[in-house]
Structure 1
Amino acid sequence: MTPLQFYKCLADDTRLRSLLLLEAHGELCVCELMAALEESQPKVSRHLAQLRECGLLVGERDGQWVFYRLAPDLPEWCKTVLVDTRTANEDWIRTDSERLNAMGDRPERVARCC
């Protein structure tokens, strides 16, 4: 991934906030991101698809849920940018995180077996 590709993927409010929430919380599904961002399912899903196409996210189906997380093969410099951006801008996603934490009926993560 080139720096230009990476930064183009981040150049949208919904995509960037989604990535920062995923960096902070590890793994989230569409419904959790909808609640946190106060956005519609089609909009969140469209941006997640774009982030998958960019190679920044992976999704894993577990029953009716698809859980998204940062791609494990994401270059270290990309991970560092996301961590540094989130930690330097906690106030920017604080309300999103509070909405996520207040969400009822969050899907339960099933322990994954090897």
Structure 2
Amino acid sequence: MYAFIRRYRMGTGSIDALMRKVNSQFANQLSAGGDAASDVPVRVPAGIISYQAIATGDDTIITVTMFETEEACRRAERGATDIRLSLAEFQVEETHTFTGEVMLSRASEALLTPVVR
């Protein structure tokens, strides 16, 4: 399993509006098993296990994406550009990126409950 952790800073707009757009254009597809509506501008690449977006204050967000394999993680790096382009109205800037092999992982059943604000 591999993880992709990114930190973003928003230039304009609200975190809530940004999260609604991320959910409708990207995250919702994970719950649907990767089946995207034809009008969704960003397709979820195969191999994503989970996705979390965390508001960290000061107009910043950290995303944590878990992948089945390193190859799936590398494929998603290219897709991340498409996601940022679809969010251009928020002037989202990537400030930090961390990628690596997951060495330990545990989760409770609560992780399976989608959280949408």
Same fold (TM over 0.5): no
Higher helix share: 1
Q: Which has the higher contact order (CA 8 A, sep 6+)?
A: 2
TM-score normalised to structure 2 length = 0.30
TM-score normalised to structure 1 length = 0.31
